[in-house]
Chains A and B, each alone.
Chain A
Amino acid sequence: MSANDVLGIIFSNAYDEVIPELTALRTMGSVPYAGRYRLIDFPLSSMVNAGITKVGVITNNNYRSLMDHIGNGKPWDLSRKREGLTLLPPFSGPDSGMFKGKADALYGSISYISDSGKDYVLLTDCNVLGNIDYDDMLRYHIEKKSDMTLAYAEAIPPEIKNSVEYTVDDDGRITESRFVDTYTSSAKFSLKVMIIGRTLLERLLHEANAKRISDFEDIVSPCISQMRVYGYRQESYVKVISSIRSYYDANLDLLDEKIRKDLFPADLPIYTKISDRSPTVYGINSAVGNSLVADGCKIDGEVENCIIFRGVTVAKGAKVKNSIIMQDTVIGEGAAVDCVIADKDVRISTRKTLSGASNYPVYIGKGIVI
């Protein structure tokens, strides 16, 4: 068995509503992250690194930015004569249209799934940030003769709709699942990443459609008592983005060297669309510390504890702290910015001051001039 027997399915719109500011004009999958990536780069690259060569990306709405980003899949080596990357938007038929839930969305693509002829299907959302070794997860799934393998992490669960925690026995088998009700103590929470046999998935989807079940959790939970369902523990860094605050934290997490190593190990690279920006130029007045900076920036001011995306300008005398500054944003001369998430193409004019709090970062929308 190899990962080549696996069909990858990515839900690009799942949980869009938890960061409405960032997904107003885009899908969860196309939310920018870590200076030069979009969230979908992580599951997509992990799939490719595991040897998966056929990937379907399920979209529902606002997917233009996603199409622009993934194109024909070339940066992930998924522009192929056989297999490769397929975008699966909703289509209108007698009983389809916009998806109501993940089960619904998958049912809309059921012919794509069955025609793939693969033995297994790997399903993931885009708000799960990590470099998950899917190859290892598949090995585990096969070794345990599992019908369904669900990835989990052990930490404080994300405060998100349908947040699920598991009880896992010594063998790794999931004996119980329930919705999380307290978000203060550590639990084995679901990452909503699953490996399942293709024919079993098809059967479950047909049944769900007959019963008009649109929510995926409603399909999965009854299986736990009836089938061999195993939990795959994700040990390295993983974070489920559940709010603008957790998005902000997930970015600043990158300033920790261990987390950077977990997300960007040399042998499992994260691929993204190439933008051919020149390297970043630091000027004579620049003072930069503890920051991650992408290509194409012009930095001549002070930058501390920041994630700076491609093509950002920080002018002389500007002070940028604890902030996420996205592509092509300009921080003018003498401006001061603290605890801010500035989306693409924002202009902070000369000597303006803007500050949020670390538990409540200020978000500035795309293209806004302050």
Chain B
Amino acid sequence: MARKHECIAMLLAGGQGSRLGILTKNIAKPAVPYGGKYRIIDFPLSNCVNSGIDTVGVLTQYQPLVLNDYIGNGQPWDLDRADGGVHILSPYQQISGTEWYKGTANAIYQNINFIERYDPEYVLILSGDHIYKMDYSEMIDYHKEKNADCTIAMLEVPWEEASRFGLMIVNDDGSIAEFEEKPKNPRSNKASMGVYVFSWKKLRQYLIDDEADADSSNDFGHNLIPAMHQNGERMFAYQFDGYWKDVGTIDSLWDANLDLLNPKVDLNLDDDGWKIYSRNPAAPPHFVGSNAELINSMVTEGCKIDGHVDFSVLFANVTVEEGAEVKYSIVMPGTVIKKGATVQYSIVAENAVIDEGATVGKSPETMENIADWGVSVIGNGVHIGKNAVIEPKAMIDSDVGGAE
């Protein structure tokens, strides 16, 4: 039996993230690279450590290899602890049978024994889908102050985007009056961030009841939270102000990366008081050659830049050769962009090769029909042949031969 912990975190990292297409073909969404040297999961994990939460269960199911390897013993986040620390929780066989995690609530239900080992008062439920810096300890304090059973983090989104979110109508005292799931005509712009604090005794009971309900899809948002609300439990909304972005689609992943180059965006990754930790490759500093033109961009260790880079985020060990051009693009670790190649408005995944003279993506201004425009995506390890042309919006999953 472990020592009692007041609050532990459970991080739902089992989702496929199917809207990210080929980027999540072999890796779970929380392992998708972001911001030059991070993966999405670095944000909730770093937030936990910075908030004083030292016990985190990471629930994995879809393509967990890269994620498991990345998290390892949790040392990069100071989560290699004698007491607590980070634990990978995948579905396992039980005497009653073997089941995959059927839904978010079921995933937690299957790990009730893990949670009970720490005998917590509160459980923080997180997802591995968002980029944000948040002090969870303040939210837990709010939960205690309101004597709540469930507290949901919310942020105010622009009214015109509100219909894409799960919304809450909130009373003056902060309690939640009503939920609206992606309504056509929103009555609120207070969106749920997918961050929940539950009083564990209460959550435990609802998990058991939810499991017993054969009609339930065992999901927090669709089943468990509405059930708590219906029964009149004390549910509160906790307002968060700051940068928060769901990176669930190609466009939002592209946007969220380029946000880092916008000085007006409130997301400082170099904040000594709130560091975002990650597992670092052992690579020397990046080298900028004499032919390079490098502006408005983010570059990290191991890169070699001798071409023209503008408004882009380059991950570790990326090479941009002389005469190559990279604009408005995200280039993930180990990719090589050869002489005279052009990559714009694109996401190029890890270890790809864009051969000499190839063209990937197009600027929206050059399109005849803007509806045909979109970010081009090149998958992991894909080779784009010499002088090949990759259209906007394309998702390239296998090698493309050269052209004359």
Is A293's CB under 8 angstroms from B299's CB?
yes
Q: Which of A262-280 contact B (CB under 8 A)?
A: 263-264, 269-272, 274, 276-280
- Interface stretch of the complex, out of B10-18, B156-164, B272-280: B272-280
Given contacts A274-B76, A288-B294, contact A295 B284 (CB under 8 A): no
**Interface 1/0s, chain B 288-300, versus A by CB < 8 A?**
1111111111111
B282: Cβ under 8 A from any A Cβ? yes
Q: Which single residue of chain A is at the shortest CB-CB distance from B304?
A: A257
B301 touches A276 (CB 8 A): no
With the chains together, A299 CA to B175 CA distance in Å?
Answer: 47
B301 touches A289 (CB 8 A): no
Q: Which residues of A contact B260 (CB under 8 A)?
A: 281
User: A291 interface residue, CB < 8 Å from B?
Assistant: yes
Given known A-B contacts A281-B261, A283-B296, A295-B301, A290 and B289 have beta carbons under 8 A apart? yes
Residues of B with C-beta under 8 A to A269: 282-283
Main secondary structure of the interface of B (DSSP, over half): loop
The CA-CA distance from A272 to B266 in the complex, in Å, is: 31
Decide if the interface of chain A is mainly helix, strand, loop or mixed: loop
Assembled-state Cα–Cα distance A281/B298 (Å): 5
Q: Does B392 sit within 8 A of A, measured CB to CB?
A: no
Complex CA–CA separation, A288 to B353 (angstroms): 25
Whether A296 and B292, one on each chain, are in contact in the complex, defined by CB atoms closer than 8 angstroms, is no
A320 near B: Cβ within 8 Å?
no
Does A34 reach chain B (CB closer than 8 Å)? yes
Q: In the bound complex, do residue B284 and residue A34 qualify as a contact, i.e. CB atoms below 8 Å apart? A: yes
Complex-state Cα separation, A274 to B286, whole angstroms: 16
Instruction: Please determine whether B286 and A293 come into contact, CB atoms closer than 8 angstroms.
Output: yes
Q: Which residue of B lies closest to A75 (CB)?
A: B282
Instruction: Give Cα A280 to B36, complex, Å.
Output: 9
- Tell which of A272, A282, A290, A292 touches B290, judged by Cβ atoms closer than 8 Å: A290
Instruction: Determine if A163 is an interface residue (Cβ-Cβ < 8 Å).
Output: no
With a cutoff of 8 Å between Cβ atoms, the chain A residues found around residue B301 in the complex are: 36, 294-295
Interfacial residues, chain A to chain B (CB-CB below 8 A): 34-36, 74, 255, 257, 260, 263-264, 269-272, 274, 276-296, 303, 307-308, 311
New A-B pairs, 17, CB < 8 Å, besides A257-B287, A294-B285 = A34-B285, A35-B285, A36-B301, A264-B284, A269-B282, A276-B275, A279-B269, A279-B299, A279-B313, A281-B297, A281-B298, A282-B299, A292-B285, A293-B288, A293-B299, A303-B288, A308-B285
28 A-B pairs with C-beta separation under 8 A: A35-B285, A260-B284, A260-B287, A264-B283, A264-B284, A269-B283, A272-B282, A274-B280, A276-B276, A278-B35, A278-B36, A278-B270, A278-B276, A278-B298, A279-B36, A279-B298, A279-B299, A280-B298, A282-B296, A282-B297, A282-B299, A284-B295, A285-B295, A288-B288, A288-B294, A292-B285, A303-B288, A307-B285
